[in-house]
Chains A and B, each alone.
Chain A
Amino acid sequence: MPSTLFTEAPHWGWLIVFYFFLGGIAGGAYFLAALMDLFGRPTDRPLARLGYLIAFPLVIVCGLLLIVDLSRPERFWHMLIQVNTFRPMFKAYSPMSFGSWGVLLFGAFSFLSFLGAFGEGDASRWPALRVFRGPGILGVVITVLGGLFAVFLAGYTGVLLSVTNRPIWADTTLLGLTFLISGASTAAALLILLGWRRRTTLTGLRALERFDSWLLVFELVALIALVFSLGEIARLWLGLWGALLLFGVVGLGIVLPLLVHWRPRAFGTASAPIAAVLVLVGGFLLRVVIVLSSEGA
């Protein structure tokens, strides 16, 4: 019998499911915005701006979700400061410790980029804020560093689950990869959804749709590899969780959006937002299945 079945659940419930989902989108959106800013076309700039504008509010929500989920929320700062010495608290080999700093630093960089994006608004009264966004050197440095923390935020949550002794989570090493792909994919979907009505971003949107299609294919491959890597513990997914994974995550969240991307005309003018909503639903269900199926085991 696998040894992970002899452990106790940490009771990470819906708050953590939402954190994993929104954290993936926040990190993914910033990462995509950074890629578009650094390597994209000038016409993609409004789309990248959208990425910065959603990343910061989302990471604030993420921080609040994490704090509220603690059994002693008023002690959240114990993650960052040693209580007895008031020195920084950091353990490189503890994903939660690493992650606490990651969320904080990503919050800082996404705040600066948010200011930069805000300053670029048509009617902005603070044009000086534009310095926080490229092409100036300060803006580029913020974008590069923020982009690194963004990709960390989108993926570390899966690594955190694997560095436990719980069934499913600790029985595979592919959760970080899967969450990362899903984070980028759901972020692309949200950007497509929000940017859909802007004609100026049409080429950017098409690039995002192509990008998301490839990510969905990679996510499907990662999920299949994940199920195989679980070995005999995969039997925990025989039943409701397996059905949700197969029909919700794979069917609704991966295969159907791929079909829409492949034959957009069959779904009319709303094909892009339909596919985006499906991808978002699938990304959320992925976190539900991964987190709650182990919690109940």
Chain B
Amino acid sequence: MAEPMGFFTDTTVCIGCKACEVACKQWNQLPAAKGGLNSLSGDSYDNTRRLDGLHWRHVKFVEQFTPDRSEGRWLLMSDVCKHCVQAGCLEVCPTGAIFRTEFDTVVIQSDVCNGCRDCIGACPFGVIGINPASGTAQKCTLCYDRMQAGLVPACAKACPTESIQFGTIAELKKRAAARVQRLQGQGEKRAYLYGADDKMLGGLNAFFLLVDRPEIYGLPPDPKMPSRNLTSSSLWATLGAIGIGVLGLISFRHRGDRDA
């Protein structure tokens, strides 16, 4: 197996140019939504709105301004599939369409997926959506085809500020830790890494440097695996089944001629 690969997205240097979105769409031949008749969202400069089957990169624009707009800041973040080490989508997929690659990334095989959409509800980050062109669930593949050819994923290649960095997870973690240290040394005490350690879903192979709470960026503070509920849910249902069985037995049991 090749070394685990991934993205380190440093949100502090993102300028919101959306080159990553365009490069992703171009390389992966993702069509425009609604045949190009996209309307304005009214939410800052964000007209992509969300990650889904047609948008595998999404630049988020968070405006934090005082009411008179005399003070404030922009938070910009290019969001993407996190390629979780413990991936909820992969876990629930009933067709085997979702698999883990030799690069430790998570990819959906479009020719296997039958569009049951279980993975969409299972993803803790709301990353996956149905691509209307294929009728299958799709998301970022971390440019699996480019990686197999030794190329950098399209978004990281196009990013003009190196906000999106691609590399081995080990190298990216070193770079990210140094960057946090540097920012904190410069007075940006709020800088921290989201998903870099293995506490979050075993580690996110696409992790982020943030300067505010995850919720502000639209990221879950405590993402979990869908299977956390499997055992207790099944146990409650089994107990219920036994209870109903006993109740039925009492209700229908053969009572001879007593009440015939």
Residues in B whose Cβ lies below 8 Å from that of A184: 244, 248
Distance in angstroms between the alpha carbons of A292 and B96 in the assembled complex: 27
Task: Give the contacting residue for B121; candidates A84, A166, A214, A222; CB below 8 A.
Answer: A166
Q: Judge whether A163 and B124 touch: CB under 8 Å.
A: no
Q: Which of A7-44 contact B (CB under 8 A)?
A: 7-12, 31-32, 35-36, 39-41, 43-44
Q: How many residues of B contact A (CB 8 A)?
A: 65
Distance in angstroms between the alpha carbons of A155 and B117 in the assembled complex: 20
A71-B115 contact, Cβ under 8 Å, with A94-B92, A96-B92, A155-B240: yes
Q: Which A residue sits closest to B120, measured CB to CB?
A: A10
Residues in A whose Cβ lies below 8 Å from that of B111: 83
Q: Which A residue sits closest to B257, measured CB to CB?
A: A41
Residues in A whose Cβ lies below 8 Å from that of B252: 32, 35-36, 39-41, 44, 204, 207, 211
Q: Judge whether B94 and A79 touch: CB under 8 Å.
A: yes
The reply on A196 being an interface residue by CB < 8 A is no
Q: Judge whether B227 and A163 touch: CB under 8 Å.
A: yes
Q: Judge whether B115 and A72 touch: CB under 8 Å.
A: yes
Q: Judge whether A180 and B244 touch: CB under 8 Å.
A: yes
**Among the interface residues A71, A84, A162, A169, which one has the most CB atoms of the partner chain B within 10 A?**
A71
The reply on A170 being an interface residue by CB < 8 A is yes
Category for how many chain A residues contact B:
35 or more
The reply on B247 being an interface residue by CB < 8 A is yes
Listed stretches B59-67, B159-167, B215-223; interface member: B215-223
The reply on B259 being an interface residue by CB < 8 A is yes
Q: Judge whether B232 and A89 touch: CB under 8 Å.
A: no
Task: Give the contacting residue for B233; candidates A9, A71, A175; CB below 8 A.
Answer: A175
Task: Give the contacting residue for B229; candidates A11, A155, A173; CB below 8 A.
Answer: A173
Q: Judge whether A75 and B114 touch: CB under 8 Å.
A: yes
Task: Give the contacting residue for A10; candidates B88, B117, B219, B222; CB below 8 A.
Answer: B117
Residues in A whose Cβ lies below 8 Å from that of B219: 6
Q: Which B residue sits closest to A42, measured CB to CB?
A: B254
The reply on B253 being an interface residue by CB < 8 A is yes
Q: Judge whether A174 and B121 touch: CB under 8 Å.
A: no
Residues in A whose Cβ lies below 8 Å from that of B149: none
Residues in B whose Cβ lies below 8 Å from that of A78: 95-97, 112-114
Task: Give the contacting residue for A35; candidates B125, B232, B248; CB below 8 A.
Answer: B248
Closest Cβ–Cβ distance, residue A128 to chain B (whole Å): 27
A3-B224 contact, Cβ under 8 Å, with A159-B233, A173-B236, A177-B237: yes
Q: Judge whether A165 and B121 touch: CB under 8 Å.
A: yes
Q: Which of A181-228 contact B (CB under 8 A)?
A: 181, 184, 203-204, 207-208, 210-211, 214-215, 218, 222
Distance in angstroms between the alpha carbons of A95 and B93 in the assembled complex: 9
Q: Judge whether B240 and A180 touch: CB under 8 Å.
A: yes
Residues in A whose Cβ lies below 8 Å from that of B113: 72, 75, 78
The reply on A158 being an interface residue by CB < 8 A is yes
Task: Give the contacting residue for A208; candidates B122, B244, B251, B254; CB below 8 A.
Answer: B251
Residues in A whose Cβ lies below 8 Å from that of B50: 8
Q: Which A residue sits closest to B51, measured CB to CB?
A: A8
Instruction: Pick 5 A–B contacts, CB within 8 A, sort by A.
Output: A6-B220, A8-B128, A10-B117, A176-B234, A210-B251
Closest 7 CB pairs of A and B: A71-B115, A176-B237, A3-B220, A75-B114, A8-B126, A97-B94, A164-B121
